[in-house]
């Protein structure tokens, strides 16, 4: 059995930053994640996608953010159970929790922090009869490595931010990019819409609106798509890849059966104090939680992690009083013996 101070369910950015905040309090952490590597959506779904709202980074790729977080938490030696899903939770007689994964791995901790993002995801697939026949044979619902499409012909379907952003990105990678959307209006950011329109005028993107992809053609690999246009009728396009980006459907999974208060597929928490759930000792931070005024931003998850760890410390050590010290004053002392601190200058008095 794996024992720790704080058991973190979810190894995305919020879960990883929780390791750092807990480490400052000398609390050990262990993370469980169903994905085979840390980073959550940032690693699995869009590692090469730039993020613009992380403080101190005008622009940073999602994968780079994860790499930086992993470097930041290295001194605190967190444990990882990866490729396994947290399945059940049981409160023991000693007031601690026993969490068991779908593979039977048991974890014990006095505090559980659920940082599972939006949960597990399933792609929203367009109603094309033979689409499953071409999955991993030219059809992809998530772009993990843009280099796969280098000098290839790509057809993207969708009208949201993801479809627009990847159309813009792949315009500089693929030999030919076509964006198909069933309406004239897009649901994405205005600057992205304007950029796609500009690329279309420059001939770098083939933009087809008021149309839908209705048919996929090929044998061992996709070779073309059949498009139904509102006024022009049937259109055939040769392509090497078809990427329908209609979003992902999030699901809480087994966590939804843990007796937690759920509202609109998210866990209700007390945001006025410490982001604790209706079960004392179980917290929910990051995109997985909900409260009045909630903003689903990575930076919000970072804030919630810091507050939660302070509360967790008081729960684990009710008789101790922790005096917070800024890292600029106290430095960062890792469990591995490393120490980071500001250089202390000696000022000699003049007598």
DSSP code for 186 = -
CA distance 87 to 112: 13
**Annotated binding residue at 14?**
yes
Element (H, E) at 31: strand 29-33
Distances (CA, A) of 68 to 103, 177, 237, 328: 30, 32, 42, 19
Task: Find residue 177's DSSP bridge partners.
Answer: 154
**Annotated binding residue at 291?**
no
**Annotated binding residue at 33?**
yes
**Annotated binding residue at 46?**
yes
Q: Which long-range contacts (CB under 8 A, 24 or more apart) does 198-203 make?
A: 199/167, 199/168, 199/171
**Annotated binding residue at 314?**
no
**Annotated binding residue at 328?**
yes
Task: Find residue 228's DSSP bridge partners.
Answer: 212, 234
DSSP code for 148 = G
**Annotated binding residue at 53?**
no
**Annotated binding residue at 41?**
yes
- Asked if 111 and 122 touch (Cβ cutoff 8 Å), the reply is no
Q: Please enumerate, by residue number, every residue annotated as part of a binding site.
A: 14, 33, 41, 46, 86, 121, 287, 328
Q: Please enumerate, by residue number, every residue annotated as part of a binding site for FAD.
A: 14, 33, 41, 46, 86, 121, 287, 328
């Amino acid at each position: 059995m794996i024992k720790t101070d704080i058991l973190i369910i979810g190894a995305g950015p919020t879960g990883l930053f929780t390791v750092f905040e807990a480490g400052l309090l000398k609390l050990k952490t262990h993370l469980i994640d169903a994905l085979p590597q840390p980073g959550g959506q940032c690693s699995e779904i869009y590692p090469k996608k730039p993020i613009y709202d992380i403080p101190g980074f005008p622009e940073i790729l999602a994968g780079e953010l994860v790499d930086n977080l992993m470097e930041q938490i290295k001194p605190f030696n967190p444990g990882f159970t990866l490729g396994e899903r947290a399945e059940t939770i049981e409160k023991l007689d000693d007031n601690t929790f026993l969490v068991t994964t779908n593979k039977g791995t048991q974890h014990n901790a006095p505090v559980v922090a659920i940082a599972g993002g939006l949960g597990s995801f399933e792609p929203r697939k367009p109603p094309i009869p033979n689409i499953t026949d071409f999955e991993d044979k030219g059809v992809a619902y998530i772009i993990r490595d843009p280099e796969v499409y280098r000098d290839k012909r790509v057809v993207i379907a969708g009208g949201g931010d993801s479809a627009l952003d990847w159309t813009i990105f792949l315009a500089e990678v693929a030999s030919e990019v076509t964006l198909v959307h069933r309406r004239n209006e897009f649901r994405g950011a205005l600057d992205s819409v304007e950029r796609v329109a500009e690329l279309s005028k420059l001939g770098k993107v083939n933009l087809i609106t008021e149309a839908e992809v209705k048919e996929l053609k090929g044998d061992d690999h996709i070779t073309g798509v059949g498009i139904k246009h509102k006024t022009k009728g049937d259109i055939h396009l040769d392509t090497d890849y078809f990427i329908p980006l209609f979003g992902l459907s999030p699901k809480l999974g087994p966590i939804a059966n843990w007796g937690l208060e759920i509202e609109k597929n998210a866990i209700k928490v007390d945001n006025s104090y410490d982001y604790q759930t209706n079960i004392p000792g179980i917290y929910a931070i990051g995109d997985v939680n909900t409260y009045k005024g909630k903003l689903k931003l990575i930076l919000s998850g970072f804030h919630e992690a810091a507050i939660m760890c302070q509360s967790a410390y008081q729960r684990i050590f009710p008789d101790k009083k922790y005096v917070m010290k800024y890292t600029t004053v106290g430095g960062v002392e890792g469990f591995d013996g490393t120490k980071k601190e500001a250089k202390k200058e000696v000022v000699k008095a003049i007598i």
